[in-house]
């Protein structure tokens, strides 16, 4: 595995690879790699000749009061993991390489970014859209892989690829969970013992919603009330939002319709740690 830190070097490498007709994939990450990331790399491997993983804790997707400073980082451990996962190139630029002092260009995606996560984190998707666009121009992949855990991010990225004509195939990989159902996330490392014990309630409440829907309940308020009840039983949990929305435009729905596909998603704070999770359900 070759570690690359400069944009120009990464672009030259990919230009040569593409000239040699190699299929290139990119797995963008913010590091502190876990099994969820490794599953993305595996899918990248299956869909390309050359796998590039990027590690960059992107400051523009964090609001000033959020956890950019404390976001977990372990570049030495990540390098070992990526190497043993068979990654070909690890792109780990410094902050100034990506955002020099006079940096001024941002990518804004309308509408879909204004809901759910966008309501709670109004500047988040501008940062995500900007860094992902830059990474696409740097790594010039044929294929890029993202996780379903960040369901709205996945939709935003597909929109960018379509609207800006990137011609990149986007693969959304299933969420990888701990044995007790907690979706894997680098932020899980913030949880105290008590919070960690209570955190599986997120997936439990989503599973309960899914069971209710399979059992014929179509009234979203009834489903949400049950989810709220389950989560509120946990002392350290504070709900930010629970949503049942159309899976393509994220419009909130009141009554589920036969044939519809819905994104059931939530954001819950355990102390200062904000976790998100979701499932997709077709009825």
Query: Which C-beta is closer to ligand PAF: that of 61 or that of 199?
Result: 61
3-state secondary structure 165-179: CCCCEEEEECCCECC
Query: Which C-beta is closer to ligand PAF: that of 69 or that of 215?
Result: 69
Q: Would you count residue 30 as binding ligand PAF (CB under 6 A)? A: yes
Q: Is 37 a catalytic residue?
A: yes
Q: Would you count residue 150 as binding ligand PAF (CB under 6 A)? A: yes
Burial 198-235 (b: 16+ CB within 10 A, else e): bbbbbbbbbebbeebbeeeebebeebbebbeebbeebe
> Of how many residues is the chain composed?
283
Query: Which C-beta is closer to ligand PAF: that of 153 or that of 281?
Result: 153
Please state, in angstroms and rounded to a whole number, the distance separating the CA atoms of residues 235 and 147: 29
Size of the site for ligand PAF (CB under 6 A): 10
Choices 125-133, 159-167, 254-262, 265-273; region in contact with ligand PAF by CB under 6 A: 125-133
Query: Which C-beta is closer to ligand PAF: that of 162 or that of 211?
Result: 162
In degrees, rounded to 5, the angle at the alpha carbon of residue 186 between the alpha carbons of residues 129 and 125 is 15
Q: Would you count residue 131 as binding ligand PAF (CB under 6 A)? A: yes
The H or E element that residue 269 is part of is strand 261-270
Q: Would you count residue 132 as binding ligand PAF (CB under 6 A)? A: yes
Candidate list 4, 10, 13, 28; residue touching ligand PAF; CB under 6 A: 28
* Cα 151 to Cα 88, 95, 166, distances in angstroms: 27, 26, 20
Return the active site residues.
37
Q: Tell me which residues touch ligand PAF (CB under 6 A).
A: 28-30, 58, 61, 128, 131-132, 150, 153
């Amino acid at each position: 595995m070759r570690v690359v830190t400069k944009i120009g070097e990464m672009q030259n490498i990919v230009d040569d690879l593409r000239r040699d007709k190699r299929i290139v994939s990119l797995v963008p990450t913010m590091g502190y790699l876990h099994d969820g990331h490794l599953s993305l790399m595996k899918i990248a491997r299956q869909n390309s000749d050359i796998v590039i993983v990027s590690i960059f804790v992107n400051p523009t997707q964090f609001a000033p009061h959020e956890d950019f400073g404390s976001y977990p980082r372990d570049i030495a451990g990540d390098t070992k993991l990526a190497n043993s996962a068979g990654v070909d190139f690890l792109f780990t630029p410094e902050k100034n390489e990506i955002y020099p002092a006079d940096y001024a260009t941002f990518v804004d995606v309308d509408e879909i970014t204004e809901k759910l996560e966008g309501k709670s984190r109004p500047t988040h998707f501008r940062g995500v859209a900007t860094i992902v666009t830059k990474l696409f121009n740097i790594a010039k992949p044929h294929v890029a892989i993202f996780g379903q855990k960040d369901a709205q991010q996945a939709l935003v990225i597909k929109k960018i690829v379509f609207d800006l004509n990137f011609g990149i195939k986007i693969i959304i990989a299933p969420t990888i969970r701990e044995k007790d159902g907690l979706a894997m996330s680098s932020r899980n490392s913030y949880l105290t013992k008590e919070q960690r014990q209570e955190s599986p309630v997120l997936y439990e409440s989503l599973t309960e919603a899914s069971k209710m829907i399979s059992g014929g309940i179509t009234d979203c308020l009834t489903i949400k009330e049950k989810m709220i009840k389950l989560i509120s039983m946990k002392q350290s949990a504070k709900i930010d939002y629970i949503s049942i929305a159309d899976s393509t435009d994220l419009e909130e729905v009141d009554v589920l319709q036969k044939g519809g596909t819905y994104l059931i998603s939530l954001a819950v704070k355990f102390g200062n740690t904000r976790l998100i999770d979701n499932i997709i359900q077709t009825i």
